[in-house]
Amino acid sequence: MHSPSPALAATLHALHGEPDVHIIAPALGDLRFVPILALAPNVDPIIGAPNALAGERPDFLAPDIRTSPALSAVVASLIGTDAGVTVLGEWAEVTPVGAGETHAATRIDAARRNRCVPWAAAPIGSCDARATLLHASWEMTITLRHWGKMTPDHPTAWMDALKPKEYNRLLDALCAAPNTADFRLPCLPMLYATDIADTSCPSTPTLLSGTSQCAVGRPAHGYADTHRIHRPAERRARRHRVRPWRAS
């Protein structure tokens, strides 16, 4: 007799009302099943929600589910697991700003072990330990967007929590890869936002319109106003993998 795969078996359990996320965890890594479990009406909402996150569709979560302590507990229980790898990045997109401090250390440890995306701990706030996890410019871009949202009146405040060596490293990397400039210009000091926009963005006034005015004329801590970035000949950026079931 043919035995179902672990992912299929987990899916069948969920469709029959299984409330334990660890029993259905094998399905979270299979793109054939996550859209089914995210949308099926007979699946426990707290089980359907991690599947929506695993499929990169946090917009499928109802408002009351997003703020549910039960969902927060379920996601926290997945930190460091195979299933957590697929869930934590999207959870960072919907978790309340500043939330999750209780699990900050475990998220950082999971990211260091490549068990979740580097920006999974971004909504908790900026610090050197979280910044050192970031290597690709697009990882930095996503993280800075979260850090900027934490202090909307002062979106460059993330720099104050980092040592000069770390924020200088981030600024150098971001200025050398302007392909995602429109997403992060408001979170950069005006000196660097202007430098990026002048170099690569034809619509400089539009992109700079949201840049924090508190940063105007302010050098980036360890940098002098005359500092110039040495840009590499080739600019590279990694892109997110696109889920085949993502709606257009």
pLDDT in tens, 119-152: 888 888 888 988 999 988 888 888 888 888 888 8
Identify the three-state secondary structure at position 35: helix
User: Residue 56 corresponds to which amino acid?
Assistant: E
Can you give the pLDDT at residue 75?
A: 92
198 band by pLDDT with thresholds 50, 70 and 90: low
pLDDT at 18: 95
Give me the pLDDT at residue 122, please.
Answer: 83
For the four alpha carbons of 150, 153, 155 and 159, in that order, the dihedral sign comes to negative
pLDDT at 225 over 50: no
- Name the more confident of 145 and 7: 7
What the block records as the tokens of 62 is 């109802």
Rounded to a whole number of angstroms, the distance between the first and last alpha carbons of the chain is: 40
Rounded to whole angstroms, how far apart are CA atoms 247 and 131? 32
Highest mean pLDDT among 71-80, 132-141, 239-248: 71-80
Residue 191 scores a pLDDT above 70: no
Residue carrying the six token digits 């004329």: 217
Give percent of the chain with pLDDT exceeding 90: 30
In this predicted structure, the answer to whether residue 213 has a pLDDT above a threshold of 70 is no
Q: Are 60 and 52 in contact (CB under 8 A)?
A: yes
Q: Are 121 and 108 in contact (CB under 8 A)?
A: yes
Express as a percent the part of the chain with pLDDT over 70: 70
Tokens 């995306």 belong to 117
| 181 has pLDDT over 60 | no
